[in-house]
Amino acid sequence: MAAFDTTRAQFDTVSFTGRIGQTFATLVATVVAWNDSRATRSALSALTDRELEDIGLSRCDIENIG
């Protein structure tokens, strides 16, 4: 049985445009992760101490989320 490999080996010869695209994608991913953490901290801050205790967190744990 024969196999035909269609994948190409990638080397570090990415074009300048490709590097700009990678940098932009990294920047967008960083902003998205930051915003997710911010929204999570905001939602947790709105909970009461009792609700936080129910999910196993305390107020001081909120700062370490993200």
In a domain, 27, yes or no: no
Which residue segment(s) compose the domain that 51 sits in? 37-66
Q: What is the band of 5 on the pLDDT scale with cuts at 50, 70, 90?
A: low
At 9-53, the pLDDT tens digits run: 665 666 888 899 999 999 999 999 999 999 999 999 999 999 999
52: exposed, middle or buried (Cβ count in 10 Å: 0-12, 13-18, 19+):
middle
Give me the residue label for tokens 């609700």.
51
In a domain, 42, yes or no: yes
pTM above 0.75, yes or no: no
Q: What is the band of 8 on the pLDDT scale with cuts at 50, 70, 90?
A: low
In a domain, 63, yes or no: yes
In a domain, 15, yes or no: no
d(CA 38, CA 44): 10
- What local confidence, expressed as pLDDT, does residue 45 receive? 96
Total domain count for the chain? 1
